[in-house]
Homo-oligomer: A and B are copies of this chain.
Amino acid sequence: MQTFTISKLAQAVGVNVETIRFYQRRGLVAEPAKPLGGIRRYGEAEVARVLFVKSAQRIGFTLDEIAQLLQLDDGTQCKKARAIAEHKLADVRKRLQDLQRIEAALAQLVDRCASRRGQVSCPLIAALQPIPHAL
């Protein structure tokens, strides 16, 4: 298809044009060959790409990590891909646990605040102490 100019692409995914160009420099988004001294055109693939980057970022991946994740998408080198994916998976699971703990803590806090004003000694700090520090 290749229907977007860079600014349309940026607009479609809700980021700055400069951000697209920045991603291109980082190799996260393809730079289509420009047609004989002209203006590059982008398609759905690029839209998907940028959305992926932004989503992955929202959950805490760095651009370098995202670059790795994107390599998995090639389908080739399944062995390597698997190693990276497993590593990330462990990582993600740890993040999930932490998030779940803080979610519980926050929900509890909100709940207590709602039902009973007064001495709420916040459970947040406790929620994030993995070991009850025996040092």
Tell me, yes or no, whether A128 is within 8 Å of chain B by CB: yes
Task: Return chain B residues, CB-CB under 8 Å to A100.
Answer: 96
- The distance in angstroms between the C-alpha atoms of A44 and B52, with both chains bound, is 42
**A interface SS class:** helix
Tell me, yes or no, whether A56 is within 8 Å of chain B by CB: yes
Q: Are B92 and A128 in contact (CB under 8 A)?
A: no
Interface size on A, residues (CB 8 A): 53
Tell me, yes or no, whether A135 is within 8 Å of chain B by CB: yes
* Residue of A72, A88, A135 with most partner-chain B CB within 10 A: A72
- The distance in angstroms between the C-alpha atoms of A52 and B124, with both chains bound, is 8
Q: Are B99 and A113 in contact (CB under 8 A)?
A: no
- The distance in angstroms between the C-alpha atoms of A114 and B88, with both chains bound, is 16
Q: Are A44 and B95 in contact (CB under 8 A)?
A: no
Tell me, yes or no, whether A125 is within 8 Å of chain B by CB: yes
